[in-house]
Structure 1
Amino acid sequence: MTDRFALHYLPEAFSVAGQKLMGRQAAGVGLLRAVAQAEGLAELGCFAADRRYFEAFEAALRADGYRGLARWIAPSAPEGLAHFGCLYHPGPGIERLAWRRLQAGERQYSLCGVAHTTASHEMMSMVAQLLVAPVRAWDAIVCTSRVVRDSVRVLIEEQAAYLQARLGATRFELPQLPLIPLGVHCAEQEADEALRAEARARLGVGLDDVAVLFLGRLSLHAKSHPQQMFAALERADKGGRRVHLILCGWFASEAIGAAFREAAALLCPSIRLVELDGRVAEHKRDAWAAADIFTSLSDNLQETFGLTPAEAMAAGLPCVVSDWDGYRDTVRDGVDGYRIPTIMPGPGAGLDLAMRYDDGVDSFDMYCGHTSQAVAVDGAGLAQAYGKLIRDGELRRRMGESGRARARQEFDWSAILVRYRTLFDELAERRRADPMLAPALPVHAPDRPDPFRLFASYPTKLLTAASLVELKPDASLALVRAYRELAINRFAASSLPTLEEFGLIFGAIGPRPMQIEELIDTLGRWDRPTLLRGLAWLCKMDMLRITEG
Structure 2
Amino acid sequence: MNANKPRIWATLDPFLEPGPVWGRKVANEQFLRALLSLDPFDAYHFFLATPKQAQDFRMVLAKNWPALAAEKRLQVFQRQTLPQVLTRRLHHCFHLSDCINHPPALARLRNTFSPDIFPITSVTHSLSYPNYPARFLDHLWPGCTPRDCIVATSEAGKSAMKASFQLLRDRFGLDRKRFPQPRIEVVPLGMNEPFPWEQRAQLRQKGRRQIEASPEQCVMLILGRVSPHSKMDMLPVLRAWQRAFPPKTAQAMLVVAGWVDPGDDFPGKFQHLSRNVGLPCRIVSRPDEQAKQELYAAADLFISLADNPQETFGLTLLEASLAGLPVIASDYSGYRDLVEHGQTGLLIPTWGPQDSGDADALAGLIPEYEIQFHLAQQTAICVPDLADALHALCSRSEMRKSMGERGRQHVLTHFSWPKVIQDYLALWDRLRQQDIPQPCPPVPRPLELSYTRMFSSFPSSILLDTIQLRLTKTGGKILRGDDFPVIYAGLEHFVSMNFLRPLLFFARKPQNVAQLKQKLGAVEPQPSDWQIAFCIQWALKHDLLEIYDN
Structures share a fold, TM > 0.5?
A: yes
Equivalent in 411, 418, 424 of residue 407 of structure 1: 411
Equivalent in 347, 350, 370 of residue 356 of structure 2: 350
C-alpha separation in 2, matches of 1:492 and 1:42: 29
C-alpha separation in 2, matches of 1:351 and 1:482: 68
The residue identity in structure 1 corresponding to 2:463 is L
| Residue pairs, 1:133-152, within 5 angstroms | 134-152=143-161
Equivalent in 422, 429, 433 of residue 425 of structure 1: 429
Shift of residue 451 of structure 1? 3.2
Quick check: 1:85 aligned with 2:92? yes
**DSSP-derived class of the 1:14 partner:** coil
The residue identity in structure 1 corresponding to 2:216 is D
Name the structure 1 match of 2:75: 71
Name the structure 1 match of 2:400: 396
- Work out whether residues 226 and 258 of structure 2, in 8 Å CA contact, stay in contact via their aligned partners in 1: yes
Name the structure 1 match of 2:546: 545
C-alpha separation in 2, matches of 1:28 and 1:383: 36
**DSSP-derived class of the 2:343 partner:** coil
**DSSP-derived class of the 2:466 partner:** coil
Name the structure 2 match of 1:307: 315
C-alpha separation in 2, matches of 1:24 and 1:378: 29
The residue identity in structure 1 corresponding to 2:389 is A
Name the structure 1 match of 2:294: 286
User: Would the alpha carbon gap of residues 271 and 73 (structure 1) be closer, same or farther in structure 2, given more than 3 Å must change?
Assistant: same
| Residue pairs, 1:36-115, within 5 angstroms | 36-38=36-38, 40-50=40-50, 52-54=52-54, 56-57=56-57, 60=60, 67-68=67-68, 69-75=73-79, 76-78=81-83, 80=85, 83-93=90-100, 94-105=103-114, 107-115=116-124
Equivalent in 335, 340, 346 of residue 338 of structure 1: 346
Name the structure 1 match of 2:13: 10
**DSSP-derived class of the 1:415 partner:** helix
C-alpha separation in 2, matches of 1:474 and 1:66: 46
User: Would the alpha carbon gap of residues 405 and 78 (structure 1) be closer, same or farther in structure 2, given more than 3 Å must change?
Assistant: farther
C-alpha separation in 1, matches of 2:440 and 2:188: 35
User: Would the alpha carbon gap of residues 80 and 513 (structure 1) be closer, same or farther in structure 2, given more than 3 Å must change?
Assistant: closer
Shift of residue 495 of structure 1? 6.9
The residue identity in structure 2 corresponding to 1:544 is L
C-alpha separation in 1, matches of 2:194 and 2:543: 67
Shift of residue 202 of structure 1? 1.9
| Residue pairs, 1:489-528, within 5 angstroms | 490=488, 493-494=491-492, 497-499=495-497, 501-510=499-508, 512-523=509-520, 524-525=522-523, 527=527, 528=529
C-alpha separation in 2, matches of 1:96 and 1:517: 29
| Residue pairs, 1:72-471, within 5 angstroms | 72-75=76-79, 76-78=81-83, 80=85, 83-93=90-100, 94-105=103-114, 107-132=116-141, 134-164=143-173, 171-186=178-193, 188=195, 190=197, 191-237=199-245, 240-255=249-264, 258-269=265-276, 270-278=278-286, 280-346=288-354, 349-358=355-364, 360=365, 362-430=366-434, 434-436=435-437, 441-445=441-445, 447-448=447-448, 451-471=451-471
**DSSP-derived class of the 2:424 partner:** helix
Q: Deviations over 1:131-159 (max 9, x none)?
A: 22622112211111111111111111112
C-alpha separation in 1, matches of 2:65 and 2:546: 58
User: Would the alpha carbon gap of residues 162 and 241 (structure 1) be closer, same or farther in structure 2, given more than 3 Å must change?
Assistant: closer
Name the structure 2 match of 1:34: 34
User: Would the alpha carbon gap of residues 133 and 308 (structure 1) be closer, same or farther in structure 2, given more than 3 Å must change?
Assistant: farther
- Taking only the aligned residue pairs, the percentage that are identical comes to 24
Q: TM-score, normalised by structure 2?
A: 0.86
**DSSP-derived class of the 1:77 partner:** helix
**DSSP-derived class of the 1:177 partner:** strand
Greater alpha carbon shift after TM alignment, 65-74 vs 102-111: 65-74
C-alpha separation in 2, matches of 1:242 and 1:226: 20
Q: Deviations over 1:72-124 (max 9, x none)?
A: 35433256456331111111232222222222248421100111122112333
C-alpha separation in 2, matches of 1:293 and 1:7: 40
C-alpha separation in 1, matches of 2:473 and 2:40: 62
Aligned residues: CA RMSD = 3.1
Shift of residue 240 of structure 1? 4.2
- Work out whether residues 44 and 84 of structure 1, in 8 Å CA contact, stay in contact via their aligned partners in 2: no
- Work out whether residues 98 and 133 of structure 1, in 8 Å CA contact, stay in contact via their aligned partners in 2: no
User: Would the alpha carbon gap of residues 219 and 66 (structure 1) be closer, same or farther in structure 2, given more than 3 Å must change?
Assistant: farther
- Work out whether residues 118 and 124 of structure 1, in 8 Å CA contact, stay in contact via their aligned partners in 2: no
**DSSP-derived class of the 1:178 partner:** strand
- Work out whether residues 33 and 64 of structure 1, in 8 Å CA contact, stay in contact via their aligned partners in 2: no
The residue identity in structure 2 corresponding to 1:121 is P
C-alpha separation in 2, matches of 1:481 and 1:370: 69
- Is there any run of 5+ residues in structure 2 with no aligned partner, and where? none
Shift of residue 290 of structure 1? 1.0
User: Would the alpha carbon gap of residues 134 and 535 (structure 1) be closer, same or farther in structure 2, given more than 3 Å must change?
Assistant: closer
C-alpha separation in 1, matches of 2:393 and 2:182: 44
- Work out whether residues 215 and 278 of structure 1, in 8 Å CA contact, stay in contact via their aligned partners in 2: no
- Work out whether residues 141 and 181 of structure 2, in 8 Å CA contact, stay in contact via their aligned partners in 1: no
Number of residues of Structure 1 aligned to a counterpart in Structure 2: 530
Q: TM-score, normalised by structure 1?
A: 0.87
**DSSP-derived class of the 1:398 partner:** helix
C-alpha separation in 2, matches of 1:189 and 1:148: 31
C-alpha separation in 2, matches of 1:217 and 1:481: 63
- Work out whether residues 10 and 94 of structure 2, in 8 Å CA contact, stay in contact via their aligned partners in 1: yes
Greater alpha carbon shift after TM alignment, 274-283 vs 111-120: 274-283
Shift of residue 280 of structure 1? 1.4
User: Would the alpha carbon gap of residues 381 and 427 (structure 1) be closer, same or farther in structure 2, given more than 3 Å must change?
Assistant: same
User: Would the alpha carbon gap of residues 226 and 138 (structure 1) be closer, same or farther in structure 2, given more than 3 Å must change?
Assistant: same
C-alpha separation in 2, matches of 1:223 and 1:246: 17
User: Would the alpha carbon gap of residues 139 and 538 (structure 1) be closer, same or farther in structure 2, given more than 3 Å must change?
Assistant: closer
User: Would the alpha carbon gap of residues 172 and 505 (structure 1) be closer, same or farther in structure 2, given more than 3 Å must change?
Assistant: closer
The residue identity in structure 2 corresponding to 1:22 is W
C-alpha separation in 2, matches of 1:371 and 1:395: 34
Shift of residue 162 of structure 1? 2.7
- Work out whether residues 469 and 513 of structure 2, in 8 Å CA contact, stay in contact via their aligned partners in 1: yes
- Work out whether residues 330 and 349 of structure 2, in 8 Å CA contact, stay in contact via their aligned partners in 1: yes
C-alpha separation in 1, matches of 2:397 and 2:165: 47
Q: Deviations over 1:429-448 (max 9, x none)?
A: 11xxx1528x8534443544
C-alpha separation in 1, matches of 2:443 and 2:482: 35
Q: Deviations over 1:333-362 (max 9, x none)?
A: 11111111111222xx2131111113x1x2
C-alpha separation in 1, matches of 2:450 and 2:137: 25
C-alpha separation in 2, matches of 1:501 and 1:39: 37
